[in-house]
Amino acid sequence: MTIPQLRAFAAVVRYGSVKSAAAALGVSESTVSMHVAQLRKELGDPLFTRTGSGLAFTPGGLRLASRSVELLGLQNRTVEEIGQAAQGLRLLRVGATSLFAEHAAPGLIESFTQRATDLEVELSVHQASEFEELLRTRAIDVAIGPPVASPRPGLVQRAFLAYDVEVVTTPDHPLAGRPVSAAELARATWHLGPSAVGPAGAIPAMLQRLRVPESHQRIFQSEASALEEVHHAAAVAPAVVFSVSANLAAGRLVRVTGQGTKQRGVWVASAREEDREQTSAELLRFLQTPRATQAMIKGSGVPIRRFRPAVYVTLWS
């Protein structure tokens, strides 16, 4: 597959016809058709057919539609990175689990990038099970999440922040204000963020220990939205304590007490040992400082002109 082929196919997907795609790209219809035909031949898939109501994509065509956008975005990003490198700019790619990315990464990265004007940090969210392969293939430079149980040779791990997860709910929930049993917790409705998906981390460990059935678990797009929905339904939620301290102090949330309602977790940073002179090693050293701890727990404060909403890949510079 070539970039022109992918660009032509992505345009067909976006605009709904070969004619509109050609007009958008500033090329002839025959050129777009040629690129699509080459993709069909190489992949052994018709990709789409024409119907009376428009284009109907095959399962393979839908998958290619998604991948083509990703690949074209990566190409554009690579061109930009090469230009930045020529100007002496550094790029650090950090992969993190969703729990760290939501609660601690913004303050950490903001504080870390304030130390250098030639540094840009790219944050992406992954399952912890993917970290070793991502580091090995150099898709990321630093991985942050739970410890890797049996790391491969050549991987450096640094534990830098312990945190507590506790079960919380609203003051009017039936489980509030009294000790509860593990059986009662297993029967409750749980509101969870994406960190509950997968076997690793403090929150999956808590759910497994309490034997909460999947039928009682409701997964939301973020930990914050899961906690917010607790106010609109009779549910409980696991929460990183430092992230909900203000709500606990104000009485909007209360701790659920009893067996299995607390879980200790630790965040670990992993990097390639051979990169000890690179920016990744600089971040591992910074993570051990009080300034980094303060930034992760309380945030460093982001000026409005630099605020980024939470997305899958976030750039800080």
Nearest partner of 176 among 256, 116, 230, judged by Cα = 256
238, with CB counted inside 10 A (0-12, 13-18, 19+), is: buried
106 Cβ neighbours under 8 A, 6+ residues apart: 299, 302
pLDDT tens digits, residue range 130-168?
Answer: 888 888 878 888 999 988 777 777 888 899 999 999 999
Q: Can you give the pTM of this predicted structure?
A: 0.66
pLDDT tens digits, residue range 182-210?
Answer: 999 999 999 998 888 878 889 999 999 99
For residue 240, list its beta bridge partners: 165
pLDDT of residue 88: 59
Q: 84: pLDDT confidence band, cut at 50, 70 and 90?
A: low
